[in-house]
C-alpha cells in the first residue's frame, strides 16, 4: 500500500513536473518568437535608416503589399530583367520589360529598371543595330543598366561550334552604346566554383544545382572552364574603360576576396554586387573580409537577388524580404552572431560611414541613372 502510495505520489509529481516543463518550453518558444520578431523589427529599423538600395532584385509581380513594405523600409532598388531561353519563366523579354516597367510605376519609381537584350541572334545580319536600338528605347524609358547573362560562356555556341564568350566582337558595339549613354553593364558571367565541383550538401548552392541540373557545369565537362569565362569578362572590362561594369554575385569570385581585390586594383571601372553571395563572406575569415570591405568600400554594392515571380504568394515574399534584410543588416552592422545553414558567424560591425557606402552611396555612383 505504502509503496503504491509513494509510487502514485511520484507519478503525480513527474506528471506535474512534465507539465510545468512543457509549459515553460512553450512559454520559452513563444518568448523566443516574440524576441526574434522584436529583433527583426529593430534590425529593419536600422536598415531603413540607412536609405538602403538593393542593386539586384527580380520583382515581376505588381503586389501592393510588397510595395508597401518596400516603402516602409525606405528601400530602393535595381530591378533586373533576365533572358534565358532554357527557362520558361525567363524566356520572354518583351513581357518582362513590360512587367518590370509596370512594377516601377506602382512602386513610385523606387525600383529602377535594368534591361537586357537577346544575345542569341548574334550571328544574324544587323544583330548589333537591332539590339542597340532596343536598348536606346529602354534608356529613353529610364533603364539605368543592361544585364548580360551566363548563357555567354555556358550555353551559346557559334554556327561553327565555338563557345560564345562575353568578349565576342559581335557584342562590342552594344558595350560601346551602353558607355555612350552613361549606363551601367551588369555582368552575371560564370557561376560559383561549386558549379564546377562535385555535389556537396555543405555548399550554399547545393540545392540550386540539384534543381537546375542543366546549369551544373560539373555535369558538362565539355563546357569552358570558369577561368576562361572570367578572362573573357575581364577582357570586356579592360577594353571598355569608359564602361562601368558591375560584376553580379561578387563577380563570380565568391570564395576569395583577394580575387576580387586583384580586379579592383587592375580595373577602376569595375565593381561587384553581393547578390546571393553574402554567405560566402561568412565562410571566409572574418578579419580578411572586414579588411577587404574597408579597403574597397567604394566598390562593393549591397544586393540580394530576391525574386518575386508573377505568381508569388504575397505572405512568402514579405517574410523572405524581412528575414533577408534583417539578417544581412545584422551581419554587416553588428558584431552579433548570425545563423546560416546550421552554422554561427560573427557579424562584421562595419563603421557607419562604410555601411552608408555599401548600402546607399555606391549604388548611386555605379548606377548614375538611379535618382
Ligand atoms: Zn539575379
User: 25 CA distance to ligand 1 centroid (A)?
Assistant: 41
pLDDT of residue 210 exceeding 50: yes
The reported pLDDT for the residue numbered 14 is: 46
pLDDT of residue 6 exceeding 90: no
pLDDT of residue 230 exceeding 60: yes
pLDDT tens profile 312-364: 999 999 999 999 999 999 999 999 999 988 899 999 999 999 999 999 999 99
pLDDT tens profile 153-173: 999 999 999 999 999 999 999
User: 345 CA distance to ligand 1 centroid (A)?
Assistant: 25
Would you state the cell numbers that stand for residue 192, as one nine-digit string?
560559383
User: 57 CA distance to ligand 1 centroid (A)?
Assistant: 7
Average pLDDT over residues 194-208: 94
User: What are the start-end ranges of the H helices in the chain?
Assistant: 2-49, 64-72, 93-106, 127-140, 151-154, 172-180, 206-211, 226-239, 248-251, 257-266, 278-283, 286-295, 314-333, 352-356, 362-366
- Contact between 94 and 81 under an 8 Å Cβ cutoff? The reply is no
Q: Is residue 73 classed as helix, strand or coil in its secondary structure?
A: coil
- Contact between 236 and 222 under an 8 Å Cβ cutoff? The reply is no
User: 212 CA distance to ligand 1 centroid (A)?
Assistant: 15
User: 55 CA distance to ligand 1 centroid (A)?
Assistant: 10
A 10 A CB-CB count for 252 gives 25
CA angle 190, 214, 135 (to 5 degrees): 55
Question: What's the CA gap between 269 and 107, in Å, rounded?
Answer: 30
User: 366 CA distance to ligand 1 centroid (A)?
Assistant: 17
User: 162 CA distance to ligand 1 centroid (A)?
Assistant: 26
306 φ/ψ sector (left φ>0, alpha ψ -120 to 50, else beta): beta
Question: What's the CA gap between 112 and 79, in Å, rounded?
Answer: 6
User: 307 CA distance to ligand 1 centroid (A)?
Assistant: 8
User: 38 CA distance to ligand 1 centroid (A)?
Assistant: 30
Domains in the chain and their CATH numbers? 52-309+352-366 (3.20.20.140)
User: 149 CA distance to ligand 1 centroid (A)?
Assistant: 9
DSSP one-letter code for 298: T
pLDDT of residue 18 exceeding 60: no
User: 353 CA distance to ligand 1 centroid (A)?
Assistant: 27
Q: Which residue, among 348, 161, 371, 192, has the nearest Cα to 280 in the 3D structure?
A: 192
> Sorting pLDDT into bands at 50, 70 and 90, what band is 7?
very low
pLDDT tens profile 106-131: 898 999 999 999 999 999 999 999 99
User: 348 CA distance to ligand 1 centroid (A)?
Assistant: 24
The reported pLDDT for the residue numbered 329 is: 98
- Contact between 150 and 109 under an 8 Å Cβ cutoff? The reply is no
Farthest-apart Cα atoms in the chain, separation: 101
A 10 A CB-CB count for 140 gives 9
SS (H, E, C) 346-360: ECCCCCHHHHHHHHH
pLDDT of residue 15 exceeding 50: no
Q: Which residue, among 263, 242, 244, 243, has the nearest Cα to 252 in the 3D structure?
A: 263
The reported pLDDT for the residue numbered 317 is: 93
User: For 63, phi and psi rounded to 5 degrees?
Assistant: -125, 115
User: 287 CA distance to ligand 1 centroid (A)?
Assistant: 28
* pTM of the shown model: 0.89
User: 160 CA distance to ligand 1 centroid (A)?
Assistant: 30
User: 338 CA distance to ligand 1 centroid (A)?
Assistant: 24
The reported pLDDT for the residue numbered 359 is: 98
Higher local confidence (pLDDT), 85 or 123: 123
Would you state the cell numbers that stand for residue 275, as one nine-digit string?
547578390
> Sorting pLDDT into bands at 50, 70 and 90, what band is 21?
very low
Question: What's the CA gap between 112 and 202, in Å, rounded?
Answer: 35
- Contact between 299 and 315 under an 8 Å Cβ cutoff? The reply is no
User: 42 CA distance to ligand 1 centroid (A)?
Assistant: 28
User: 111 CA distance to ligand 1 centroid (A)?
Assistant: 15
pLDDT of residue 26 exceeding 70: no
CB under 8 Å to 166, separation ≥6 — which residues? Answer: 148, 152, 153, 187, 189, 229, 232, 233, 235, 236
User: 80 CA distance to ligand 1 centroid (A)?
Assistant: 7
Weakest-pLDDT range from 30-39, 256-265, 271-280, 357-366: 30-39
The reported pLDDT for the residue numbered 87 is: 83
pLDDT tens profile 332-343: 999 999 998 889
User: 56 CA distance to ligand 1 centroid (A)?
Assistant: 6
R_g of the chain, CA atoms, integer Å? 24
Weakest-pLDDT range from 20-34, 67-81, 310-324: 20-34
User: 11 CA distance to ligand 1 centroid (A)?
Assistant: 59
Would you state the cell numbers that stand for residue 149, as one nine-digit string?
547573362
User: 22 CA distance to ligand 1 centroid (A)?
Assistant: 44
User: 302 CA distance to ligand 1 centroid (A)?
Assistant: 13
A 10 A CB-CB count for 64 gives 10
Look at the block and give the residue holding cell 580578411: 288
Amino acid at each position: 500500500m505504502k509503496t503504491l502510495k509513494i509510487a502514485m505520489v511520484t507519478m503525480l509529481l513527474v506528471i506535474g513536473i512534465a507539465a510545468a516543463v512543457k509549459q515553460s518550453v512553450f512559454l520559452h518558444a513563444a518568448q523566443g518568437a516574440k524576441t526574434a520578431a522584436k529583433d527583426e523589427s529593430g534590425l529593419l529599423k536600422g536598415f531603413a535608416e540607412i536609405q538602403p538600395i538593393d542593386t539586384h532584385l527580380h520583382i515581376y509581380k505588381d503586389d501592393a503589399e510588397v510595395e508597401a513594405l518596400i516603402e516602409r523600409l525606405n528601400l530602393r532598388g535595381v530591378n533586373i530583367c533576365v533572358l534565358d531561353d532554357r527557362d520558361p519563366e525567363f524566356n520572354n523579354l518583351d513581357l518582362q520589360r513590360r512587367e518590370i516597367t509596370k512594377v516601377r510605376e506602382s512602386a513610385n519609381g523606387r525600383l529602377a529598371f535594368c534591361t537586357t537584350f537577346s544575345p542569341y541572334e548574334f550571328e544574324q545580319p544587323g544583330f548589333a543595330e537591332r539590339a542597340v536600338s532596343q536598348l536606346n528605347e529602354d534608356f529613353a524609358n529610364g533603364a539605368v543598366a543592361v544585364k548580360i547573362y551566363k548563357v555567354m560562356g555556358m550555353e551559346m555556341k557559334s554556327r561553327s561550334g565555338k563557345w560564345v564568350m562575353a568578349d565576342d566582337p559581335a557584342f562590342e558595339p552594344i558595350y560601346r552604346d551602353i558607355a555612350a549613354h552613361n549606363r551601367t553593364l551588369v555582368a552575371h558571367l560564370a557561376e560559383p566554383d561549386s558549379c564546377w565541383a562535385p555535389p556537396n550538401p555543405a555548399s550554399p548552392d547545393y540545392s540550386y544545382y540539384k534543381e537546375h541540373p542543366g546549369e551544373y557545369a560539373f555535369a558538362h565537362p565539355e563546357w569552358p572552364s570558369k577561368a576562361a569565362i572570367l578572362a573573357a569578362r575581364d577582357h570586356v572590362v579592360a577594353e571598355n574603360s569608359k564602361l562601368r561594369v558591375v560584376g553580379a554575385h561578387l563577380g563570380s569570385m565568391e570564395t576569395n576576396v583577394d580575387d576580387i581585390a586583384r580586379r579592383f586594383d587592375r580595373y577602376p571601372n569595375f565593381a561587384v554586387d553581393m547578390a546571393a553571395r553574402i554567405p560566402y563572406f561568412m565562410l571566409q575569415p572574418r578579419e580578411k573580409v572586414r579588411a577587404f570591405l574597408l579597403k574597397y568600400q567604394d566598390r562593393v554594392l549591397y544586393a540580394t537577388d530576391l525574386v518575386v515571380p508573377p505568381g508569388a504568394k504575397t505572405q512568402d515574399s514579405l517574410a523572405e524580404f524581412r528575414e533577408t534584410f534583417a539578417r544581412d543588416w545584422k551581419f554587416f552592422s553588428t558584431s552579433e552572431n548570425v545563423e546560416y545553414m546550421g552554422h554561427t558567424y560573427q557579424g562584421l560591425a562595419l563603421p557607419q560611414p562604410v555601411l552608408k557606402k555599401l548600402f546607399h552611396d555606391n549604388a548611386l555612383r555605379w548606377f548614375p541613372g538611379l535618382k
